[in-house]
Amino acid sequence: MMRQYELVERVQRYKPDVNEALLNKAYVYAMQKHGHQRRASGDPYFSHPLEVAAILTDMHLDEATIAVALLHDTIEDTSATRAEIDELFGPDIGKLVEGLTKLKRLDLVSKKAHQAENLRKLLLAISEDVRVLLVKLADRLHNMRTLDHVPEHKRLRIAEETMDIYAPLAGRMGMQDMREELEELAFRHINPEAFRAVTERLAEFFERNRGVIKAIEEALSHLFAEHHIEATVKSRQKKPWSVFRKMETKALSFEQLSDIFGFRVLVDSVGDCYRALGFIHATWSMVPGRFKDYISTPKQNDYRSIHTTIVGPSRQRVELQIRTFEMHRIAEYGVAAHSIYKDFGGRVNGADHRISRDTNAYAWLRRTIEALSEGDTPEDFLENTKLELFQDQVFCFTPKGRLIALPRGATPIDFAYAVHTEVGDTCVGAKVNGRIMPLMTELKNGDEVEIIRSKAQVPPAAWESVVVTGKARAAIRRATRNAIRKQYSGLGARILERAFERASKSFSRDALKPVLHRLGRQDIEDVLAAVGRGELSSQDVVRAVFPDYKDERVTQMPKEREEGWFNLRNAAGMLFQIPGRSSRKAKRAKGSGAPVEKTQGGALPIRGVSGDLPVSFAPEGAVPGDRIVGILHPGSGITIYPIQSPALTAFDDQPERWIDVRWDIDEHMKERFPVRMSVTAINEPGSLAEIAQVIASNDANIHTLAMERTAPDFTEMLFDLEVWDLKHLNRLVSQLKEISSVSDAHRVNG
């Protein structure tokens, strides 16, 4: 474990005027607070913030950031408070530490929502001070390095979160070294077999081509020396995750990959970059379509470099990156390499560093947060943020020459929303390079895109599956929600009116105002729309308005039953009796409420009969008025059959499974029962509508419908209906037969 003086010395190497007092105070405070805490590996917990601080010293960060690294877990995992840290280290450092603290007491249902809210808090903290991001990424990097000690059930979740969020976030901030290490560590745990296989193949490939790599390095170095260009040539091997992803996305074998090894050319100036490129292309042939100039058009994360692929020495494809030493430093460390901390007065608590917001990467982050942090559910925010983090880009232009950077695979719809949300909402068409093209067209580098607009346009919901940017998806979802909100609101109002009527309560919109907070909605229209969409139960709304309300069905007082009959809670309207029970009367103390005394002869010989034994109907159903019988299925409950069902013949030799059942219906019971009907009708437009109308007018309910063409002119329709009783069913059958397009209608038995 690194000693106190060693930490100070590490910072002094790149910052001689380091504020030693701040580092010493943070070191001692964090060590005291973490005390005897241990990590999963058994190491003292304080070793973790110390390693995080060490990672940040490698990036040459200021002492205030190092202090935050030492303190980053104190509020979350110890007795330390924000007020205490503010007092000792100043409010600026206190704010940074709090930004790194997870939200533990969130009253959210899903883990995904909890994760999203923590991410939202982190990004908002980052938008105020990027040092929060640097500490968080260093924290995640050390956690990934020690992930083997974490319980197995947590490893996959942490690794996937790293691959989905933190590695792309590091990439977006231009921190390629950290991104690659995070991806490699996550890949090792997400797909260990693939990781081992790719790593072994890469090692074999390196040994086999060691001589070729050296020859290419020497040829390039000789070329630059000839033309008096000071250049450093380094070979670089693709990382296992990068190789695996390319193999997977492009369906290539390992042998088909041509860019496993690349070469980096580092020069002193931008002019030397283009001079080196000229001599390379003059000496060796360039592979068409493999040239990218990120110096004239930098990526959104400030990455600048020239990429080209040549057919180099030994007729090998050689991938080259040409950049200055300064560009290389920014490519490696991203925002951490920028001069974002400037001295403004030498205050001792570390607050003398102010953040510069001029970097493209940081500007992107702030724009993303502004676009995504308002108006979305936590799950939407998480999904859209993930979409925004992926980096492969195309560069397109507006007709006025404004450059728009988009993810690869973007469409004109994404382009429209990137220009402005209003432009996206009113988009009806697009011209790409002067030609009208479909909105699904995939944009390419250098395309000029002109958006055709109409104020009458409402974004179709189907667009959500077409776009690839989080901003576009969030805006489409929001616009679609608003467009159909009125419809859902009206439906929700009708549902609530019926629910309140059933509860014998009066419904009014004003009654919802005081309980909006209980329902988790901002206004009344939100409640109505949520009910209409099925997101909120009408019963929940009734209970919110009337907390004392209980949904109890009014039933008659239980009748004096014959001995041996019993009911089940989930079999409304039916009584059961086990054949062969003793005729002795049940003994009950009148008015005492004592339970029925069961003798040996009257005990129920059904395991699990406690009122919750599963009861279901046979496929053909049964209705009051039918003679019914129950068949006991061990392990799955009781199935009710009408006595005329042909299926009962299968149980003729098993009398012990037969249970007597009779209907127990009272006038207050509002329960329909299942029955299957077959209707044969002429195959012509309107036949089904006529049949459905008759069913609806008779107050029956269609549960399922299956249709089969039995002849060129006729279709058999198999209805699973819900009706009140046998009389109701017979009336319905007779009315169906009277329809001119119906040739036959009958009940199905078996």
Residue 708 β-bridge partners: 716
User: Which is the catalytic residue, given 9, 20, 43, 77?
Assistant: 77
DSSP string, 596-652: PBP-TTTS--STT-SS---EEE-TTB--BTB-EEEEEETTTEEEEEETT-GGGGGGT
Query: Residue 744 pairs with which residues in a beta bridge?
Result: 680
Annotated catalytic, 77?
A: yes
Taking the C-alpha atoms of residue 268 and residue 199, their distance in angstroms, rounded to an integer, is 34
The active-site residue, picked from 9, 20, 76, 259, is: 76
- Confirm if 588 and 602 have CB atoms less than 8 A apart: no
Token pair listed for 65: 């950031």
H-only helix segments in 503-571: 516-519, 524-533, 538-545
Instruction: Check if 58 is active-site.
Output: no
Nearest to 274 by CA among 333, 323, 222: 323
* Element at 215 (helix H, strand E): helix 210-226
Using CA atoms, how far apart are residues 77 and 562, in angstroms rounded to an integer? 66
Contacts of the segment 229-233: beta carbons below 8 A, 24+ positions apart: 229/267, 229/272, 229/275, 229/276, 229/279, 230/267, 230/268, 230/272, 231/265, 231/266, 231/267, 231/272, 231/276, 232/265, 232/266, 232/267, 233/263, 233/264, 233/265, 233/266
Q: Give the contacts of 88 (CB within 8 A, at least 6 positions apart).
A: 25, 29
Nearest CA among 262, 269, 272 for reference residue 321:
262
The rounded Cα 27 to chain-centroid distance in angstroms is 38
Indicate the residue type of 31: M
The kind and range of the H/E element at 501 are: helix 470-502
| 647 and 750 Cβ atoms separated by less than 8 Å | yes
Rounded CA gap, 246 and 660, in Å? 67
CA distance 750 to 383: 49
Residues 170/181, Cβ–Cβ less than 8 Å:
no
* Residue burial 490-505, b: 16+ Cβ < 10 Å; e: rest: ebbbebbeebbeebee
Q: Which of 502, 585, 589 is nearest to 538 (CA)?
A: 502
Residues 6+ apart with CB under 8 A from 221: 231, 233
CA distance from start to end of the chain: 77
Beta sheet of 701-711, edge-to-edge order: 701-711, 714-723, 673-682, 742-747
Between the CA of residue 293 and those of 60, 171, 296, 321, what are the distances in Å? 29, 19, 6, 10
The pair of structure tokens assigned to 263 is: 């070469």
Active site positions, annotated: 76-77
